[in-house]
Amino acid sequence: MSAAVEFAAEVVAPSSRRRSLTLVIGCVLVGVILVTALLSLIYLPYAPDDTSGARLAPPSPEHWAGTDKLGRDLLTQLMIGARIALAVGVGSVLLGGMLGIAIGLLVAFAVRWLDDTLSAVLDVLIAFPTLLLAMLIVAAQGASLGSAILAIGLAMSAIVARLTRVLAKRILSQDYVTAARVSGTGWWGLIVQHVLPNIWPTIVVNLALQFGLAVLAEASLSYLGLGAPPPNASWGRILQEAQGTVLVAPVGAIAPGVLLVVLVIGINLVADGLRDVGDPTRRRSR
């Protein structure tokens, strides 16, 4: 018996360490970007519109990451870009999450014909390219940080709503929920007591993944000139401005791309770690 326990501990321990390592690495990567964004709120090496530096200067003690084609400090631009990326990610996830969960629960509790109609609408919205939908909204509202958050959040809400509906329907079909209904529990009680406690792990993981997609969508919008206008320095706009001078000053094209990759990979690792924490079945199967 003791030998079996020791063997099981040897099998489980490496799996637990791998899960912990995944979550830790993800938190470290995201933490680096978060600290940079928070630091940019209280300190910047130069003003965002300071063009006193030499154009396309290489990294130096005065400009640690060099300068862009207008003579602006590139490190300052990258720090502001971290702030914008996180602001768009958080804002889009909050908007898309709240709206999507509300719509998904409404559809799950709706009568059959309304459920089928709203589900079809959600399927159409999901099939519509997210970036194209965001571009249409930003083009109508005007390029700004708020427009980018609104556009990405609305595009995200359809995915969250569809997932919420599927998960809620699954919970509502369980016997204990049927028993709760028979005992007189109202729809709000069912949501608070049974639906939300059972679907939140999957929803949280999905929102974490959507966060990374929102960051990439904002960078794409900024690259196309539909993001936050100057002096806001989005990573996408830095990439767009540096593409013509990549052979002369490669840091301007490489640095924002690397930061985007670091943030998205970090978010994905955090999402994977949260999936393991919130799903006991997955934890046992690893």
Residue 115 makes CB contacts below 8 A (sequence gap 6+) with 107, 108
Mean of pLDDT values over 155-183: 87
How far apart (Å, rounded) are the C-alpha atoms in residues 169 and 162?
11
Find residue 73's DSSP bridge partners. Answer: 67
pLDDT surpasses 50 at 13: no
- The model's pLDDT over 241-266, given as tens digits with 9 standing for 90+, comes to 888 888 888 888 899 999 999 999 99
Q: What is the pLDDT, as a whole number, of residue 98? A: 94
Residue 73 in 3-state DSSP? strand
C-alpha dihedral (150, 77, 213, 137), degrees to nearest 10: 30
Higher pLDDT, 19 or 280: 19
On whether the CB atoms of residues 250 and 57 are closer than 8 A, the answer is no
Domain boundaries, the chain: 17-43+65-285
Work out whether the CA dihedral 204, 210, 235, 221 comes out positive or negative.
Answer: negative
Crossing angle between the packed helical segments 251-278 and 235-242, to the nearest 10 degrees: 150
Q: What is the DSSP string of 185-196?
A: --HHHHIIIIIH
DSSP per-residue letters across 183-241: TT--HHHHIIIIIHHHHHHHHHHHHHHHHHHHHHHHHHHHHTT-SPPTTS--HHHHHHH
CA–CA dist 172, 277 (Å, integer): 24
**CA torsion 34→157→138→252, rounded to 10°?**
30
Return d(Cα 20, Cα 286) in angstroms, integer: 13
* Whole-number pLDDT of residue 250: 87
Q: How is domain 17-43+65-285 classified at the CATH fold level? A: MetI-like fold (1.10.3720)
Q: How far apart are CA 275 and CA 203, in angstroms?
A: 10
The predicted model scores a pTM of: 0.82
Contact 253, 239 (CB under 8 A): yes
Tens digit of each residue's pLDDT (9 = 90 or more) over 22-68 = 888 999 999 999 999 999 999 999 888 888 888 888 888 888 988 88
CB proximity list for 169: less than 8 A, separation 6 or greater:
108
Render 140-156 in DSSP notation, one character per residue: HH-SSHHHHHHHHHHHH
Q: How far apart are CA 107 and CA 102, in angstroms?
A: 9
Kindly report, residue by residue over 184-198, the tens digit of the pLDDT: 778 788 888 888 888
pLDDT above 50: residue 4: no
* Pair of tokens at residue 103: 């719509």
